Amino acid sequence: MSIVVPAVLPSSRREFEEQLALFAHMPGVDRIQIDVVDGRFAAPASWPYSAEATKGAPYIAPAELSEMVAAGQMLPALERVAYEIDLMSFDADRAAGPWLALGATRLTFHAESTVDLTRLLADARTRYGDDISYGVALNIASDTSLLSPNLGSIDYVQFMGIAQIGKQGQPFDQRVLEKIIIFHKRHPEVPIQIDGGVSLGNAERLLSLGVTSLIAGSALLGAANPAAEVRKFEALKRPLGV
């Protein structure tokens, strides 16, 4: 499994398709994260969501996403790329359905998006089965105790490295380092990924603390040569045992 995981946060369908086309066939990339922002749990809303369409209403799959599913479309290069859906949304277990129909195999739920994380995870497994990988993301200000009751039912933990989720290009928040250190010491068997503020400048430090996957958005998309940037990340060495 590669070290760096490109993250796409599209504002339009065209941007979505262009960014997936950029990364899906790029050497060194075997996983892509699609950021899903509903405009309520986090803002601003990302494609294909609309803050006005979802405000105060029960979850309804966005029309463009439903049309893609109905047409039998699939995410590109599924034979070599695993797609992870980062669900920055309420009703996350329901919102996951269309993305799984498009070929995604990994779901990241945010601990703060629900009053009952254990139930959310149980409902998701009941609905989608055990062939999907399930992870939980934790915001910078949240206590790691939120994770403890659910460690037996998740496949990985994602620590957010920025103060405000749902936006790329924010500065790295150093507070996450202590969370990673404490969590990895207590649960060395649980894979850790970090999302937000990741760069070549802090990547080696994060890997040395036990992080196994670096989720990178603006660090790659903002580079003059994203493919060369991926190679630089992949050239980093994980410490033994990580």
- Which CATH number belongs to the domain containing residue 224 in this structure? 3.20.20.70
Residue 209 in any domain: the answer is yes
Residue 64 in any domain: the answer is yes
Tell me the whole-structure pTM to 2 decimals: 0.94
Residue 107: φ, ψ to 5°: -125, 130
Residue 239 in any domain: the answer is no
Mean of the per-residue pLDDT values of the chain:
94
The CA angle 42-46-47, to the nearest 5 degrees, is 150
Among residues 178, 218, 179, the alpha carbon closest in space to that of 196 is found at 218
Residue 242 in any domain: the answer is no
Residue 241 in any domain: the answer is no
Confidence (pLDDT) at 41: 94
pLDDT at 221 over 80: yes
**What sign results for the dihedral spanned by CA atoms 87, 4, 27, 6?**
positive
**What sign results for the dihedral spanned by CA atoms 182, 166, 137, 208?**
negative
Residue 162 in any domain: the answer is yes
Instruction: Write the pLDDT tens digit of every residue in 166-185.
Output: 989 999 999 999 999 999 99
Task: State how far the Cα of 228 lies from the Cα of 231, in Å rounded to an integer.
Answer: 5
Residue 62 in any domain: the answer is yes
Confidence (pLDDT) at 240: 58
Residue 12 in any domain: the answer is yes
Q: Would you place residue 195 in the very low, low, confident or very high pLDDT band (cuts 50, 70, 90)?
A: very high
Q: Would you place residue 50 in the very low, low, confident or very high pLDDT band (cuts 50, 70, 90)?
A: confident
Q: Count of domains in the chain?
A: 1
pLDDT at 242 over 70: no
Confidence (pLDDT) at 241: 54
Q: 117: domain range?
A: 4-234
